[in-house]
Structure 1
Amino acid sequence: MNRSNQGEIGRSKAGADFLQLDPSEAEAGGLSDWLTERLRTAISDGRLPIGSRLPATRVLAAELQISRGVVTEAYQRLTEDGHVAGQGRAGTIVVAAPTHRTNGAAEHGRRGRGGAVLRNQGLVKPSKAKTPTWEAVVSAPGLDVFDSLRAAPARIDLTPGVPDLAAFPRAAWLKAERAVLGNLESAEFGYGDPSGTPAMRRAIANWLARNRGVAAHPEDLIVVAGVSQAIGLVAQVLTSRGITAMAVEDPGSLGSRQHLHNWGLDTPPIPVDEGGLRVDLLRESGAQVVMVTPAHHFPTGVVLDGERRRALIQWAAEGGLIMEDDYDAEHRYDRPPVPALRAMLADQVIYAGSVSKLLAPSLRIGWMLPPPQYKDELIGRKRLADLGNAALPQLTLAHLMESGELERQLRFLRRRHRTRRDAMSRAVANYLPSATVHGAAAGLHLTITFDGDVNDVELAAAALQKGVKTHPLSWHCQLPHAPGLVLGYAARTPTELTEAIATIADVM
């Protein structure tokens, strides 16, 4: 018998039944890269579904006959990317899946500064639409601009205002929905109060008291289909009273301006600087109503400072009306968020918020807390708009709020978002060192501005051709302003964020 291969026959081959992992596939010195990518791919294609548990590092290392440190490093990378989370005795659990499949071969592509992988830098595949992909980014955006941009294909979507949809608490939602359905009376499936279900309004009142310092009676709240509907309802009430304009922050949300214009209101711009809204210029404008984002200005991230808050409250106390869009105030990372203006001047502030930035925009659940003199007319407009929000999602969300599950979700997201914000900040410092970063202390996006002759619309269009989707800052400006980009980070992994910023630097 030929015994020349006896050593090979007698030695067991390293490998694991778990995902049929075979470390011989890895390049020399690349075990951690190989294992990380194999696990990430398995999460992406569903072989490791959300909620599944990874083997203990010691167990997997023994099966693969590799160093336990290699497995620990791979798990750590997946944790930083937000795909898995350590949950004590429960082990390491898959908590989110990538929104697109990674290509293992692409990992061998060129690397940027610091060794960051920069995958396929070519043009994205042409859209089947009649217009090229880059034409979704235009210098004079129309009403359909957000739909066009949403439909444009991109490898990495940095659209601001989008939460981490992969982190939606599906198990908790299903559990809450089952609990609600188990106790729901048959009559509750009928038409309800257009203001919202009593349970939802109680839960919102308690949430605002705990998290925003706002004392509200449930009967004073109106449940709406997101802040966008609240803006539309308020605009209708104002026009019915002869008001023709609502002043807005500049820079300020293009989407909000579009809603106001749709209902016939002009939007005179009031500049925002490092202290927030210029209340002195608001007075000079003669405006009767103003919409503000005081806790975290969109898009610069400025917090309205104490002096400006006092001046704005004084302006309102003299007869002005404030619409407060508290769109993502809970997402603050350096300290607790500042109290809402509504907590300080109830009779002159229409307060609006939602769960779009906390759970998902698709829920279309928000709330409005108007002064008493506007409440009945707003409810009447809401009734005519849609007879009230769907009851079952309201009751499910109310259950999450009252059980404490929503606050646990918020704590989880803060940790996750902080990691992603830090990754984007580092990438901007490395690849775009001349850019100025705004709004890093809170929220779901960063705004960067550039000195010199930069056309941010052309830059955003060029980045989209390279597969990275952003908003040009000029979209959100009525007055002259430094060019820049508004970059959402909440829905992307640190690896993707680094790649996106490197791509933007390439097209600069």
Structure 2
Amino acid sequence: MDGDWATLHELLLPAMSAGGGRPGKAAEAALREAIRSRHLTADTRLPSSRDLAGQLGLARGTVTAMYEQLVAEGYLLSKRGSGTRVARLDQGDTPAAAPPPADEHWSYNLRPGLPALAAFPRAEWLAAEREALADTPDSALGYPDPAGQPVLRAELAAYLGRVRALPTTAGELVITSGAAEALSLLAKDLCTRGLLRIAVENPSHRGQADLLLRQGLQPVGVPVDEHGIVVSALSTSDCQAVVVSSAHQFPLGVALHPDRRRELLAWARQTGGLVIEDDYDAEHRYDRPALGALRALAPDRVAYIGSVSKVLAPALRIGWLIPPAKLRARIVENKHLHDLGCAPLPQSALARLIRSGGYDRHLRRTRRLYRQRRDALLEALATQLPRWRPIGIAAGLHVVIRLPAGTDDLALQAELATRGINAPALSLYTHSPGRAPFPGLVLGYAALPPERLRAAVAQMAAVG
């Protein structure tokens, strides 16, 4: 046996021993990985199926099937009369490694918008998925209802009525691929009706504005003050739709004042306008009760958007939309044409998680966790950076830091980045007219444990 064959023997035998009763499959996986990692180089000639079967103690048919599978996948070449050889793969004989996520290079990533991903209830979610799969009949594995699984819509309707004081029914809900698709569907409908300007809070999420722009709408910034969006400015904006985060404005954290809520809904009724309510983090409240949803006051004028991204994880891509009744048929038709509906099995799993109480248990756990992390951040700031004033601290997964007057928040963001700290400047969240109400930083705290938050503030204090 030559050197390469000895290497093959050494690679496959340990994998087979650990193969859990499936030595043939384990050998196939080990051979595939040996080729991918270049432990076996291109053009290496492999033993005949008879020889390798004898060396490994496998049936010859098992080795033949293994070779045939890897030939089909492009890892091996087999020609009559010249045996089986390792194929020459593209990109230097090995597939390129996937680039690491952009967030990984930060020592302290304080980007807002992420929950504690390590707290995801894996065991409960896995149990819910298994139950969903076991209970799903064969007939339900075809193309799904584009409006979403009826069982999930029913559970969400009950949940929203209980948690958000939002009366709704399964027949009003549309399940979407996260909140982003819900907003895209509404934007498409607005464009179809010839409404090309849409108001957004200033400051607010730049990603939302970019999404609206890509859909053909022109975002118009409307200022936000300590009472929420300034409705008098909205009234002069020549817009017939507006996106608001009324329960907890992003990023400033203010709640829309009751007088402003009434003014906003009066604007919608008088102009025939549409209010798009982005209820992105309604469940995370610490020092004040949650405000009820705007839609409950004017269901014919308000489209409501929510998702599990801030409660469970963005990767699930499960959101929901409750449009005004007159828009729903068009929204569902556009959803059908867009992707034929969201995957039904994760929807069924979420329905079971809500019904079993697992969703509420997870919320109770993470509320305690986030309160501890918020408090650790605030205590560290008060001790080490007393001139930095946190605002919007009563709810959510982030705080805004009001910096001393005259501070260039973009320059500070850049300086912090040199120390491995991702701390976005408030100026990045502004729209037309492009000016932040004050210099600030927008700091997410949910994804970092208390000791990491304290260490991040210590590093900030060295700069600030």
Same fold (TM over 0.5): yes
> Against the structure 1 CA distance between its residues 454 and 335, is the aligned structure 2 distance closer, same or farther, given a 3 Å change threshold?
closer
Alignment-derived partner of residue 370 in structure 1: 323
Q: Deviations over 1:32-83 (max 9, x none)?
A: xxxxxxxxxxxxxxxxxxxxxxxxxxxxxxxxxxxxxxxxxxxxxxxxxxxx
Shift of 1:383: 1.1
Equivalent residues of 2:288, 2:395 under 8 A apart: no
Shift of 1:151: 4.6
1:218 aligns with 2:170: yes
After TM superposition, the score normalised by the length of structure 2 is 0.76
After TM superposition, the structure 1 = structure 2 runs for residues 118-197 of structure 1, keeping only pairs within 5 Å, are 150-151=102-103, 153-197=105-149
Alignment-derived partner of residue 445 in structure 2: 489
1:503 aligns with 2:459: yes
Alignment-derived partner of residue 229 in structure 1: 181
After TM superposition, the structure 1 = structure 2 runs for residues 42-57 of structure 1, keeping only pairs within 5 Å, are none
Alignment-derived partner of residue 96 in structure 1: none
Alignment-derived partner of residue 394 in structure 2: 441
Equivalent residues of 2:307, 2:318 under 8 A apart: yes
Q: Which moved more, 1:212-221 or 1:174-183?
A: 174-183
Alignment-derived partner of residue 93 in structure 1: none
> Against the structure 1 CA distance between its residues 309 and 148, is the aligned structure 2 distance closer, same or farther, given a 3 Å change threshold?
farther
Separation in structure 2 between the aligned mates of residue 280 and residue 476 of structure 1, nearest angstrom: 21
> Against the structure 1 CA distance between its residues 311 and 273, is the aligned structure 2 distance closer, same or farther, given a 3 Å change threshold?
same
Matched-pair identity in %: 45
Separation in structure 2 between the aligned mates of residue 290 and residue 327 of structure 1, nearest angstrom: 16
Shift of 1:176: 1.1
1:270 aligns with 2:214: no
Equivalent residues of 2:103, 2:109 under 8 A apart: no
After TM superposition, the structure 1 = structure 2 runs for residues 60-79 of structure 1, keeping only pairs within 5 Å, are none
Separation in structure 1 between the aligned mates of residue 407 and residue 337 of structure 2, nearest angstrom: 47
Correspondence for 1:394 among 329, 344, 347: 347
- 3-state SS of paired residue (1:500): helix
1:279 aligns with 2:231: yes
Q: Which amino acid aligns with 1:483?
A: P
- 3-state SS of paired residue (2:443): strand
After TM superposition, the structure 1 = structure 2 runs for residues 24-39 of structure 1, keeping only pairs within 5 Å, are none
Alignment-derived partner of residue 463 in structure 1: 416
Separation in structure 2 between the aligned mates of residue 389 and residue 149 of structure 1, nearest angstrom: 25
State how many pairs are aligned.
362
Shift of 1:452: 2.8
Shift of 1:148: 11
Shift of 1:149: 8.9
Equivalent residues of 2:409, 2:441 under 8 A apart: yes
Separation in structure 2 between the aligned mates of residue 380 and residue 470 of structure 1, nearest angstrom: 41
Q: Which moved more, 1:299-308 or 1:383-392?
A: 383-392
Separation in structure 2 between the aligned mates of residue 416 and residue 161 of structure 1, nearest angstrom: 16
Separation in structure 2 between the aligned mates of residue 415 and residue 362 of structure 1, nearest angstrom: 23
Separation in structure 1 between the aligned mates of residue 382 and residue 327 of structure 2, nearest angstrom: 48
> Against the structure 1 CA distance between its residues 314 and 405, is the aligned structure 2 distance closer, same or farther, given a 3 Å change threshold?
same
Alignment-derived partner of residue 453 in structure 1: 406
Q: Which amino acid aligns with 1:320?
A: G
Alignment-derived partner of residue 306 in structure 1: 258
Correspondence for 1:261 among 213, 225, 230: 213
Correspondence for 1:329 among 249, 262, 282: 282
Shift of 1:152: 6.0
Task: Please tell me the root mean square deviation across aligned C-alpha atoms, in Å.
Answer: 1.5
Alignment-derived partner of residue 132 in structure 1: none
After TM superposition, the score normalised by the length of structure 1 is 0.70
Q: Which amino acid aligns with 1:485?
A: L
Alignment-derived partner of residue 360 in structure 2: 407
Separation in structure 2 between the aligned mates of residue 485 and residue 232 of structure 1, nearest angstrom: 28
Q: Deviations over 1:216-237 (max 9, x none)?
A: 1101111001111111111111
Shift of 1:150: 3.1
Larger radius of gyration: 2
Separation in structure 2 between the aligned mates of residue 150 and residue 371 of structure 1, nearest angstrom: 38
- 3-state SS of paired residue (1:334): coil
1:480 aligns with 2:435: yes
Q: Which amino acid aligns with 2:449?
A: T
Separation in structure 1 between the aligned mates of residue 242 and residue 392 of structure 2, nearest angstrom: 22
- 3-state SS of paired residue (2:151): helix
Q: Which amino acid aligns with 1:503?
A: Q
Separation in structure 2 between the aligned mates of residue 251 and residue 150 of structure 1, nearest angstrom: 24
Q: Which amino acid aligns with 1:182?
A: A
Separation in structure 2 between the aligned mates of residue 278 and residue 377 of structure 1, nearest angstrom: 31
Separation in structure 2 between the aligned mates of residue 305 and residue 505 of structure 1, nearest angstrom: 35
